[in-house]
Structure 1
Amino acid sequence: MAKIEKLLELTINGCKDNDRQSQKELYRNFYSYAMSICVRYTGSEADALEVLNDGFLKVFTHIEKFDISKPFKPWLRRIMVNASIDHIKKNLKHAHMADITEANVHQSVEEAPDHNLNYEEILHKVGQLSPAYRAVFNLYVIDGYKHQEIADQLGITESTSKANLTRAKAMLRAMLRKEVYQYG
Structure 2
Amino acid sequence: MRRHREPLLRLIRAHTGANDESVDVLQDCFVAAFASLGQLDLTRPMRPWLARVAINKARDWRRRRTVRQFFSMALPLTPDIAASIADDAPGAETLLTDRAALNFTMAALASLPTNLKEPLILSAFDGWPQAAIGDFLGISEKAVETRISRARQRLRALLPAPNG
Q: With structure 2 as the length reference, what TM-score do the two structures score?
A: 0.52
- From 56, 59, 76, the equivalent of 2:30 is 56
AA partner of residue 9 (structure 2): M
Give distance in 2, aligned partners of 1:68 and 1:123.
38
* Pair 1:42 & 2:46 matched: no
Runs of 4+ in structure 1 over 6 Å off:
none
Structure 1: state its 5+ residue gaps.
1-25, 99-121, 145-164
Partner of 2:118: 143
Contact kept in structure 1, 2:16 and 2:22, CA below 8 Å: yes
> Against the structure 1 CA distance between its residues 69 and 135, is the aligned structure 2 distance closer, same or farther, given a 3 Å change threshold?
farther
Matched, 1:77 2:51: yes
Give me the CA root mean square deviation. 3.2
What is the count of residue pairs matched by the alignment? 103
| CA contact 2:110–2:117 (8 Å) conserved in 1 | no
Residue 169 in structure 1 maps to residue 154 in structure 2: yes
- Cα separation, 2, equivalents of 1:44 and 1:143: 16
- Report deviation, 1:142: 3.3
Q: Which amino acid in the other structure matches residue 110 of structure 2?
A: R
Cα shift at 1:61: 0.5
Is 2:110 the counterpart of 1:134? yes
User: 2: CA distance between counterparts of 1:66 and 1:174?
Assistant: 38
1:40–1:127 contact (8 Å) kept in structure 2? yes
Q: Could you tell me which amino acid in structure 2 is paired with residue 175 of structure 1?
A: L
> Quick one: distance in 1 between partners of 2:158 and 2:50?
34
Counterpart mapping for 1:1-184 below 5 A: 26=1, 28-93=2-67, 94=69, 125-129=104-108, 134-137=110-113, 139-144=114-119, 169=154, 172-177=156-161, 180=162, 183-184=163-164
Distance in 1 (CA, whole Å) between partners of 2:16 and 2:48 is 19
Larger RCO (alpha carbons 8 Å, 6+ apart): 2
Q: Percent identity?
A: 17
Distance 2:4 2:154 in 1: 30
**8 Å Cα contact 1:85/1:135 also seen in 2:** no
Indicate how the Cα distance of structure 1 residues 79 and 57 shifts in structure 2: closer, same or farther if over 3 A, else same.
same
TM score, norm. by length of structure 1: 0.47
What is the Cα deviation at residue 135 of structure 1?
5.0
Instruction: Provide the secondary structure at the position in 2 that maps to 1:143.
Output: helix
